Amino acid sequence: MRLSLHWVGGFTGPAGAQTVSVELERLPAADAARLHALVAALDPAHLPASLMKPHPQPWDFVYTLTIENGQRRQLRFHTDAAPEPLGEIVDILQQYPPDNSG
C-alpha cells in the first residue's frame, strides 16, 4: 500500500505546499501496522471525496490523501471536518521527510 499526503495552506499558502509519500512495506513495522489499521478503520471507499469545513479560516490547512492499494482513492479534507483516523494518518505521515520532487 502506498500513501501520499499533500498539504497546503496555513499562513504560507501555496508556497508552503508539501507532500510526503510512503510505501507501507518500507516503513518501520509499528508505523506500517498502525497505518494499515487506520486506513481499514477509515473505510475510504465509503467516504465522500471531500470533507471540508463549511467556513474555513485562512490559516486552515487543506490535506489531500491518496491511497493506492490496487485501486487509487483520493480524499481532500480539513482535519477538523474529517473522521479521527484521517487526523491520525496525518500525524504519522508528517513525521516522515517531505518528497523533494517539488
pLDDT tens track for 14-34? 667 899 999 999 999 999 999
Q: Is residue 84 part of a domain?
A: yes
User: What does residue 71 show for φ and ψ, rounded to 5 degrees?
Assistant: -130, 165
Q: Is residue 26 part of a domain?
A: yes
Q: Is residue 86 part of a domain?
A: yes
Q: Is residue 98 part of a domain?
A: no
| 41-48, Cβ contacts within 8 angstroms, sequence gap of 24 or more | 41/85, 42/83, 42/85, 42/86, 42/89, 44/73, 44/75, 45/73, 47/75, 47/83
Q: How many domains is the chain partitioned into structurally?
A: 1
- Write out the residue range of the structural domain in which residue 81 sits: 2-93
Q: Is residue 101 part of a domain?
A: no
Q: Is residue 100 part of a domain?
A: no
Q: Is residue 55 part of a domain?
A: yes
Q: Which residue has the higher pLDDT, 99 or 34?
A: 34
Q: What is the pTM of this model?
A: 0.90
